[in-house]
Each structure stands twice: as C-alpha cells, then as structure tokens.
Structure 1
Amino acid sequence: MSDTLQITKKDNLGILTFNRPDVFNSFNKELALAVQKALDEFAKDNSVRAIMLTGNGKAFCAGQDLQEAIADNGLEIEQIVDEHYNPIIRQIRSIEKPIIAAVNGVAAGAGANIALACDVCVATESSAFIQAFSKIGLVPDSGGTFMLPRIIGFGKASALMMLGDKVSAIEAEQMGMIYKVFSDDLFAEEAKKIAQKLANMPTKGLAYTKHLLNQSFTNDLNQQLEMEKEWQFKATETHDYKEGVQAFIEKRKPNFKGE
C-alpha cells in the first residue's frame, strides 16, 4: 500500500485517487508503480465493473515529478517512460472495463495524456489541459501523439503540442477533447454518477466496444465491419444481452451483471 495513491471500492466502482497534492499529483516512481498494481488488481476483481481515476487537491496530475527525473541517482527519462507511463497507458486501453478520468484540476504533460487515454473524460470547469512537454524541450509521451490527433484532429493537436497552450475545460469540451464539463460544486457528484452508471451497465458489452475502438485505429473499413460482426455475435452470447432483451419485453429495469 502506498500513501501516494488512495484506493477505494464502492458499489461495483473502483476509484484510484492520486495523492501527492503538495506537488500537484505529479508522478514519481512510487505513484506510477502503485497505479499499475491497483489497475491490475481492479482488472482481476470481478466485483469492480468500472474504474475511475481522479486526484486530490487542486490538480488531477501535473505529469512527471521533474525533481525525480533530474536527481543524480534518478532514473533516465527513457526508463521513466518505458517503466512508468507506457505500462499505464497499455493497461487503460486493454483492461476490459470502462475507465473514466474525473479531471478535478490541471492535467499537464503525462497527466493530460493519461486522462485522454481513458474511455470517458470529464472535468471540472476550473480545470485545464496542457501539453507541457515543448516548454522544456521534450516530446509528448504517454500516448499523446497517438490519441490527441485522433480525438481533435491533426492540425489542432499539432498546434497544442508545439505551442504548449493551456486549454480550459470548457474549450476542451467544445473541441471534442473531453466528454463533459461540470461546475466545481457539482463536479464530484456528477463524475461519480457517470462512473456509477458505467459500472451498472452491461460491462461485458462495453469491453467489446472498447476492443473494437482500439482495433479501429489500424483496421480498414472492411476489416472493421468483419470485427463488428464477430464481436456482435460474442455480445449476443452474454448474460447481459439476454437480460436486456428480457427486461425490454417485460417492461422492467434490467439487472446487469457484467457477464
């Protein structure tokens, strides 16, 4: 157990809260490894049907703790990316459960790209997203150059990454970078509501949708159509599909199990 990460479970929802508020939840080795371990445990826990990432204090995550990166006995940047961030991004995209980023404050550098790799990203209206890498001569990592151009388009992503502009949550929503923005006083409640809704849905089908979205990055149309056919058949074999159809016929609320 690490003090840098708070882990809670409630009503089929697993919540990971970055807990280094004094440094705006910037990542160090301890936090990165704690997140990897917790994501792995949530992935294996059948009682957890959705996962939420958020932060304590004024920030979601300010990216890498540069004090660790420049320390005499610290890790090389290449090693940090390879051992800390890349595994987290791969986990977020491969875990067969919906993952929501509840961005409660600034999300900069790797922090921004971790949020954008999630299946759903919501933010408080006072938060902001910054591709901060160019400000210190680095390139975007943590999947940023892969995800952001696909989310908002090549030209806009290129400009934001090179200029390092701060993008308000409202601007991010307007350009399609994130799903929704909530007022600061309603944010915690509304973000939890969305996460809980996902946790109560037919999450096996959501996992199949996530798989198809991942494949769409590299498939052509015909390949994607074939995959949709294949995974649609898989979906019809799930408990939740049968329950959803039966509930519709009986005009009642379905009781999904994520199976």
Structure 2
Amino acid sequence: MPDQNTVLYSADGPVALIAFNRPDALNASNHALRTELSQAMDRAEMDPAIRVVVLTGEGRGFAAGADLTESFTARRGTINEHILKDHARLIDNIVQSDKAYVAALAGATAGVSMAYALACDMIIMAENAFLYSPFAAIGLVPDGGTTWMLVRAFGHQKAFEIVADFARVSAAECLHAGLANQVVPAEDLRRTALERARTIATRAAPLSIKYAKKLLRHAATAGRNEITRLEADFQFVCDLSEDSKEGVRAFLEKRKPVFRGR
C-alpha cells in the first residue's frame, strides 16, 4: 500500500482505525483523500484479523464534505457520475462490509461527509460535534444517500429543517433521536470509540455481526414476514458454524469464547 497522507490507517488487534487527515481543510474530500480512503477500506476488508473499523477525522472536525476548491476536471465525468463513482461507492463499502463500522465524530460533520458518518453501524459523538447540511446555500441538494438516512433518523419535518434551514444538529439532539449511541467529552472521543469497537470485536462472533448487520440494513425497508424468513436463513448458516459451537461450549464451561469467524 502506498504511503498515505490524506488518510491514516492503523490496526491494533481486531480493530482498524481509518482517519481523514486534511485537518487544515477540515478534512474536506478531494481526489487524493477518496483514493486513499478506498485503499484503506480495502486493506481493512482484506485483513481477516480486522473485525471492526473506526472511522474518524484528524483535527477540529470529522469532515466538511466535498472540497469545493477542487477543479471540476478532478471529478470523473458529470456531477451525478462523480457522486455515484466517487462517493456512493465508498459509502456502499461501509454499508456492505461484513465488518462493523464505528464513526467517531468531533466538530463539524457536513455535506456529503454526513453520508459517510450516517452509513456507519454505530456513532460516537463528542459533545462539540454537530451535523450540518449546507447544500441549499450553494444551490445543490444533499447526496450520497443523506436524505434517506436523515428521514429515517429524524422524520420528514426535522430532516427538511436540517436541509432547508441549515439547522445544525447537536450531539445531544442526535443522541435523543437515537442516531448517536454515545456522547462524550471531545478529549475522550477516540479512546471511547476504540474501546467500544474492541468490545464488539472481542465479545461478538464475527458471523453474528456480519448477518445481524445485513438483517438490520434490510429491515429498514422490508416487511416483517420477509425479515422473519431471512432471519431463519441466516440462523441456519450461523447454527452450523464453528463459532456457534464454540459459543455454546464457552457458555456451558463458564469461560470467554474464542471466535474465529467460521
């Protein structure tokens, strides 16, 4: 993997940390960042030892959205092609990954960067964190799947206010809405997110996380009967796994299980 500048990657046991690293630009997304983010995601995905990924930003905020100073020639095709090829693809990596993603948000999470954060499976926010949608101020609409996620988190009216009135959504509001899992002092954010990630990685069976994530994603739009059948299918797969047998043995033997993801 080439040396990284705009995205930092590190791993500690079963947890990987991916951090946007353009603090002077509030981690705004440019071509280099998107390229290195794709490489970091692929690195985590291909490493069987990694079970949870923490996604965060260096400096004062998570990320400020697209870098508006980047020339149009740096995009791949028209604006809609750019969104689908450069942003939606990376956001889908989070959604489709078999590994859990935990977002650690401080300061501003704005523009298309909201879609990256909201796509994660858990969100830990610093007390100074907020969501901000500036699209309408520059004659655009939210993208990357942001509107779909905002409506499901806040309902139509609040989502409209966020988009049309540029209303900042505080960490406290996100926690109240069930969007954030935990709010902590800014100085504790990264440590808390890594601790939560490690807890998931060491206590939950990887196959359970993989299939539970698929079920919860699908449950947002599927009916109860469809989900019930899908649960049964995934339960069949999990029940045959070595991890399920190990989990039962560990329970009966009153010890911690050792899961291997198979």
Match of 1:216 in 2: 219
Match of 2:254 in 1: 251
Structure 1 residues 1-259: aligned runs within 5 Å = 1=2, 2-68=4-70, 71=71, 73-75=73-75, 76-200=78-202, 201-259=204-262
Report the more deviating stretch, 232-241 or 71-80: 71-80
Regions of 4+ moved over 4 Å: none
5+ residue gaps in structure 2? none
Q: Normalising to structure 2: TM-score of the pair?
A: 0.93
Q: Normalising to structure 1: TM-score of the pair?
A: 0.94
State how far apart, in whole Å, the 1-side matches of 2:195 and 2:242 are.
Answer: 24
1:237 CA drift (Å):
1.8
Percent identical residues = 33
One-letter code aligned to 2:176: Q
Cα RMSD between the aligned structures?
1.5
State how far apart, in whole Å, the 2-side matches of 1:109 and 1:123 are.
Answer: 17
Superposed CA offset, 1:214-237 (max 9, x none): 222332221111111111111212
Any conservation in 2 of the 1:54–1:60 contact (CA below 8 Å)?
A: yes
Q: 1:159 to 1:72 in 2, by over 3 A?
A: closer
Superposed CA offset, 1:146-182 (max 9, x none): 2221122222222212222111111211122211111
Q: 1:168 to 1:38 in 2, by over 3 A?
A: same
Q: 1:220 to 1:72 in 2, by over 3 A?
A: closer
Superposed CA offset, 1:105-159 (max 9, x none): 2100111121010001111111111122122121111111122211222222222
Any conservation in 2 of the 1:21–1:58 contact (CA below 8 Å)?
A: yes
5+ residue gaps in structure 1? none
Any conservation in 2 of the 1:98–1:203 contact (CA below 8 Å)?
A: no
